[in-house]
Chains A and B, each alone.
Chain A
Amino acid sequence: MEYVSPEGLRIDGRRPMEMRKLQAEIGVVAKADGSAVFEMGNTKVIAAVYGPREVQNRSQQLSDQALVRCEYSMANFSTGDRMRKPKGDRRSTEISLVIRQTMEACILTQLMPRSQIDIYVQVLQADGGTRSACINAATLALADAGIPMRDFVTSCSAGYLNSTPLLDLNYVEDSAGGPDVTVGILPKLDKVTLLQMDAKLPLDIFENVMQLAVEGCKAIADYIREVLSENTKQLEYRRGL
């Protein structure tokens, strides 16, 4: 199947190095300490952060840093075919672990010992790149909750189909069987916190694809920064400053 047409257009009309449309909104769940909705094309994810708060399970309490917990769940209607079991399956457990480790790297946990930070991510619509959308949404939610962080974590995926590196794969391109590289970076510090890939890729092409994903992450970081400063302006306005 042809994923990149001879004119250089992908299935949904994008160019190979073009990302899907980004849209983010902060403060959607009133009861949570911080929350955000992040959309990458048709993939829509909502993240809510509760914390820092008292540790619920005393045995897990850490005396020198905060405990970060994460749960990833997909809605029944998020995929094309209706899913029977929204959470607890192996893929959800793996992605919960991945998001937890990624966010733990950027939160300044030393400042909040003996406390707990819960990150809950709910996928409303899945169209490829859910992992990346979840991490981006979690970053916004943590910023909305006012939890101290070293830097944002932004994430993007890239692949290689029809001998072309492609940025931000959607579901059809993802299920094509080609390689799928997911990268998560701390943009200001220029450090990689998450790197996952499946399928095979020669090393020199891998460097190109990873570089493309990192560029995508930096573009997302610019967008997130814009969204947060807009939100701060709104808050200032409401406070009458």
Chain B
Amino acid sequence: MTGLSLGEKQFIQGGIAQDLRSDGRKRLTYRPIYVETGVIPQANGSARVRMGGTDVIASVKAEIGRPSPLQPNKGKVSIYVDCSPTAAPMFEGRGGEELSTELSVALQRCLLGGKSGAGAGIELSSLIVVEGKVCWDLYIDGLVISSDGNLLDALGASIKAALSNTGIPRVHVVAEASGEDQPELDISDEEFLQFDTSGVPVIVTLTRVGRHYIVDATPEEESQMSSAVSVSINRKGLICGLTKRGGAGLDPSVILDMISVAKHVSEQLIDRLDSEISASTVSCSISQCLMWLENVLNLLSSLATQIEKRLMI
């Protein structure tokens, strides 16, 4: 993004003050959100979310592992974000590392709770297979393909969508083991357990420009911010995490006000996301049906030509 002129800066600030942003939105309106699930067939779950020009992909991979001795009844989840250089030339080589780390840490704080694993938005005890010995390790990877502001919200939404698309294979314990040995496992290829995502929070970032807050800021608006607060809220309206960015100080009453505004916005966002996710799962299965039909028809036509050839000879 090239620098903004003084006139452009005043236009952005003035527009926000009048509840009319540069692209015509109101202060608390999100850009159109598109969700596609199952974009990475090799992963256990995946989703792609587009918010305006921002495009992110999240994938969830599950591997068998050992639970940590401090929490023997909980599985492990790790979140890692990578900024692809396709989003901006400055992400080339190691240029995107700083932003990637910042986003990974913010997401971990919002979705995974504290170091002890307490208060996690994702239910970790559902990942345990054999207490103390075998658990599922979830690796959530986010990839930023195109960056047009509000990366944290888009990544939060894509992780929620990817988790709703995730199928954990059913595991049967074949042979019990005593002491330190690992029990033998039979990992099913057929049966999958759908992950329960009703408790997974979404992230709402409120950017303060002048005296007003906006939601879903574009990079131009973000450059004018004095501070930003990212709140992660779940369906019940409970706050799961909070991050404040920006150097300007905020009065505590302002922060409480921002949190209540974020709560109000999050209800609409969660409804919208849920409807988009369920719409994409339905269209996924319809398109799969159509592809299967196409394959069958191709096979039949090739068989027909084979038979024709044989008959002619």
Which residues in A have some Cβ–Cβ distance to B below 8 Å?
Answer: 28-32, 35, 42, 46-48, 50, 56, 71, 73, 75-77, 79-80, 82, 86-88, 118, 120-122, 124-125
- Are A47 and B53 in contact (CB-based, < 8 A)? no
- Are A73 and B61 in contact (CB-based, < 8 A)? no
- Are B141 and A77 in contact (CB-based, < 8 A)? yes
The range of chain B's interface size is 20 to 34
Q: Which of A82, A87, A122 is the one whose CB lies under 8 Å from B145?
A: A122
User: B69 at the A/B interface (Cβ < 8 Å)?
Assistant: no
Instruction: Provide the residues of chain B in CB contact with A28, threshold 8 Å.
Output: 55, 145-146
- Are B146 and A76 in contact (CB-based, < 8 A)? no
Smallest Cβ distance from B146 to chain A, in angstroms?
4
Instruction: Provide the residues of chain B in CB contact with A56, threshold 8 Å.
Output: 89
Q: Which of A31, A46, A125 is the one whose CB lies under 8 Å from B53?
A: A31
- Are A75 and B82 in contact (CB-based, < 8 A)? yes
CA–CA, A32 to B55, complex, Å?
A: 12
Known: A35-B86, A48-B86, A75-B141. A125 touches B146 (CB 8 A): no
A28, A46, A76, A122 pick with most chain B CB within 10 angstroms: A76
- Are B139 and A29 in contact (CB-based, < 8 A)? no
Contact with A along B138-155 (1 / 0, CB 8 A): 010101011110000000
- Are A29 and B42 in contact (CB-based, < 8 A)? no
Q: Which of B84, B86, B87, B141 is the one whose CB lies under 8 Å from A82?
A: B141
Instruction: Provide the residues of chain A in CB contact with B145, threshold 8 Å.
Output: 28-29, 46, 122
- Are A118 and B40 in contact (CB-based, < 8 A)? no
Instruction: Provide the residues of chain B in CB contact with A122, threshold 8 Å.
Output: 84-86, 143, 145
Name which residue of chain B comes closest to A80, CB basis. B42
Name which residue of chain B comes closest to A126, CB basis. B42
CA–CA, A91 to B43, complex, Å?
A: 23
Known: A73-B84, A77-B141. A31 touches B93 (CB 8 A): no
- Are A29 and B141 in contact (CB-based, < 8 A)? no
- Are B86 and A124 in contact (CB-based, < 8 A)? no
- Are B42 and A77 in contact (CB-based, < 8 A)? yes
Instruction: Provide the residues of chain B in CB contact with A71, threshold 8 Å.
Output: 85, 92-93
User: B59 at the A/B interface (Cβ < 8 Å)?
Assistant: yes
Can you identify 29 A-B contacts, CB atoms within 8 angstroms?
Answer: A28-B145, A28-B146, A29-B55, A30-B55, A30-B148, A31-B87, A31-B146, A31-B147, A35-B86, A42-B41, A46-B145, A48-B85, A50-B89, A56-B89, A71-B92, A73-B85, A75-B82, A75-B84, A75-B141, A76-B139, A77-B40, A79-B42, A87-B93, A118-B89, A118-B92, A120-B85, A122-B86, A122-B143, A124-B39
